[in-house]
């Protein structure tokens, strides 16, 4: 009986629990904000501009780039809605992780091939010196987002969730 009381009253375990909840909250709602901003940016900047950003990676041809440009913004907004509303949080975390890994693959191959492009996300433009985006910084940012996505998949913040 003593062990149960110790675990409940242990300040260290309470602090870890609270810290985990804070990280869960930041991960869920932070990712939702990221996906919302990215999706709204792509949806409002115009289809042609988004298609050109996709095509600049030189992975897809014009037809596929146009199709991707049509769906990527609304899909990002839908992902944000799932996270904000707390619907299928674990699946949303895994889906977010998969999309971010694909983004990193695309950015990495563009960097390795010496392409000078802007990311196409958050309205980022090429650097003033004409050298394109900062590839390393963009990849590191996405790695942080992957951590947040995986945290959401493993330990979702369930408060205010409609269907966790």
Express each pLDDT in 98-119 by its tens digit. Answer: 999 999 999 999 999 999 887 7
pTM: predicted TM-score of the whole model, two decimal places: 0.84
Domain range annotation of the chain = 14-154
Q: What is the mean pLDDT of residues 52-72?
A: 93
Q: What is the mean pLDDT of residues 84-101?
A: 95
Q: What's the confidence (pLDDT) of residue 45?
A: 87
CA end-to-end span of the chain, whole Å? 33
Q: What's the confidence (pLDDT) of residue 133?
A: 84
For residue 87, pLDDT beyond 90? yes
pLDDT > 90 fraction of the chain, expressed in percent and rounded: 64
Ranges assigned E (strand) in 2-98: none
Q: What's the confidence (pLDDT) of residue 6?
A: 47
Q: And the tokens for 78? A: 């839908």
**Nearest of 31, 35, 62 to residue 121 by alpha carbon:** 35
């Amino acid at each position: 009986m003593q062990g149960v009381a110790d675990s409940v009253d242990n300040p260290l375990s309470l602090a870890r629990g609270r810290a985990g909840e804070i990280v869960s909250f930041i991960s869920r709602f932070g990712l939702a904000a990221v996906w919302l901003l990215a999706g709204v940016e792509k949806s409002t900047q115009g289809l042609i501009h988004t298609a050109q950003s996709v095509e600049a990676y030189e992975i897809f041809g014009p037809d596929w780039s146009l199709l991707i440009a049509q769906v990527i913004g609304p899909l990002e907004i839908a992902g944000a809605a799932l996270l904000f509303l707390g619907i299928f949080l674990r699946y949303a975390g895994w889906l977010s992780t998969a999309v971010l890994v694909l983004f990193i693959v695309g950015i990495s191959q563009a960097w390795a091939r010496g392409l000078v492009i802007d990311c196409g996300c958050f309205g980022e433009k090429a650097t003033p010196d004409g050298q394109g985006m900062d590839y390393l910084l963009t990849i590191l940012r996405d790695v942080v987002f992957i951590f947040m996505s995986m945290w959401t998949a493993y330990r979702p913040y369930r408060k205010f969730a409609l269907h966790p």
